[in-house]
Amino acid sequence: GFDDGHPLRMIMFGKPGAGKGTLTSRLVQKYDILSLSTGDLLRQHISQKTDVGRQADEIVAHGGLLPDDLMLKVVTSKLDHLNNKHWILDGFPRTLGQGELLDTHLRNQGTPLTLIVNLDVPDEVILSRISDRWVHLPSGRVYNLSYNQPKVDGRDDETGEPLTKRADDNPEIFARRLRQFYVSTSPLLMYYTSQYSSAKTRVVTLSGTTSDEIWPQLEGAVRTFFPRVRERDDVRK
């Protein structure tokens, strides 16, 4: 089959606010898959005031991108512990340079990327989502006042801890992040489509304006291409 022996090595690709974090956590909740979000990771570094956090603070708050080599270090220091697990990367790579660095890193480990998912959501839709977004910083759990409300106002469902607004979720900064996506990140999709559409790596575009449209397509793609990925309930049995 398509996944003969290869673990799921998936990139969740899409504009800011496209739903990368939301859909990644849905997959991780249901299936035996781990995930790494560079946005969540950087926000944790920033709140803990680590070296990386000090470098990231200003850049993230203004919707810029951190240097590629720094991002590679941040990512691989976590990724290398996930060896033979199925995993999803959310928010990385987001420049051509990062894409090439990641490819080289994974090739050296003998486990290349196996699935690129491109979330295609219209700009108007994501702009309206951002103003309603609240996050639980320690876990990265995301809520939306009009879409997936917390059970108790302003509180995380699992821990009861307070939710916060992201510093970069105001209209002006968000516009900059969106521009940044078109300039620096979107060329990666061409790179993957041209280099990668081989037997070993799928590139799948999922279009829609709500999760009701996108979630079944996403789940279908994972189940079809990676039948060895188990549901968590099966894993526990």
Positions marked catalytic: 20, 94, 133, 166, 177
CB of 158 to ligand AP5, least distance (A): 16
Q: Is residue 210 a contact point for ligand AP5 (CB under 6 A)? A: yes
Rounded Cα distance, 185 and 68, in Å:
12
Nearest Cα residue to 75 out of 43, 122, 37: 37
Q: Is residue 7 a contact point for ligand AP5 (CB under 6 A)? A: no
Q: Is residue 63 a contact point for ligand AP5 (CB under 6 A)? A: yes
Q: Is residue 59 a contact point for ligand AP5 (CB under 6 A)? A: yes
**Extended strands (E) in 15-124:** 34-37, 87-90, 115-120
Residue 6 or 92: which CB sits closer to ligand AP5? 92
Write the interaction track for ligand AP5 spanning residues 112-151; mark x where CB under 6 A is met and - where it is not.
-----------------x--xx--------xxx--xx---
Q: Segment contacting ligand AP5 (CB under 6 A): 79-87, 101-109, 188-196, 209-217? A: 209-217
CB 22 within 8 A of CB 12: no
Among 28, 55, 57, 65, binds ligand AP5 (CB under 6 A): 65
Q: With H, G, I as helix, E, B as strand and everything else as coil, classify residue 228.
A: coil
CB 25 within 8 A of CB 143: no
Q: Residues touching ligand AP5: how many (CB under 6 A)?
A: 35
First-last CA distance in the chain: 25
Q: Is residue 19 a contact point for ligand AP5 (CB under 6 A)? A: yes
In single-letter form, the type of residue at position 18 comes to: A
